[in-house]
Structure 1
């Protein structure tokens, strides 16, 4: 079975189906990024990182916690997390975060970036008016 890091490799799309059966977009970029070769998840079952269809909530939470424990000992945790946020990866545990947790991070980043743009805009306007 494929692991989370390998699941973006060409031909691995079938292993990343959502519970609804949708196939996420395939990405070939990992072949150029050596960070994934040291990932702790490469020795674990991909089933730990991706939900089977119709998984009960208690089982999902337990599986995600187990996957996060693997991520916690991973030397490339931050690189994996940034990869998943940049794609964005819609399924599974990546970089110690679930898909829902990654959506929260992305939402916070967008809000922060918007606030920073507003602060810069106001600063520029004050300098011009000043």
Structure 2
């Protein structure tokens, strides 16, 4: 790996983190985004509705196959349905 490759990786990580740092959930109780099975997702989804990086969050979750929690305003089940429709 060259120095340029390493720099690209670092810059990529910095860009990826920038949306996460701007996310409203970063300023909220994280437990709301990972409710117990059968628990309410309402509070987390309400936060997501007002979040400027909602689409980046959802894209990240879909690309990284996040299986738990609320990402981009969608539950794991909702993300699975979205993926199925896209195929």
* TM band (smaller chain): 0.7 to 0.9
1:1-130 correspondence runs (5 A):
31-32=13-14, 33=16, 34-52=18-36, 55=37, 57=38, 60=39, 63-110=40-87
SS in 2 for 1:100: helix
SS in 1 for 2:45: helix
| Residue-pair matches, total | 74
Alpha-carbon distance in structure 1 between the residues aligned to 2:13 and 2:26: 15
Note the C-alpha offset of 1:41: 0.3
Give the TM-score, by structure 2 length: 0.78
Alpha-carbon distance in structure 2 between the residues aligned to 1:38 and 1:93: 16
SS in 2 for 1:88: coil
Structure 2: runs of 5+ lacking an equivalent: 1-11
Structure 1: runs of 5+ lacking an equivalent: 1-29, 111-130
Alpha-carbon distance in structure 1 between the residues aligned to 2:59 and 2:77: 15
Alpha-carbon distance in structure 2 between the residues aligned to 1:35 and 1:43: 13
Give the TM-score, by structure 1 length: 0.53
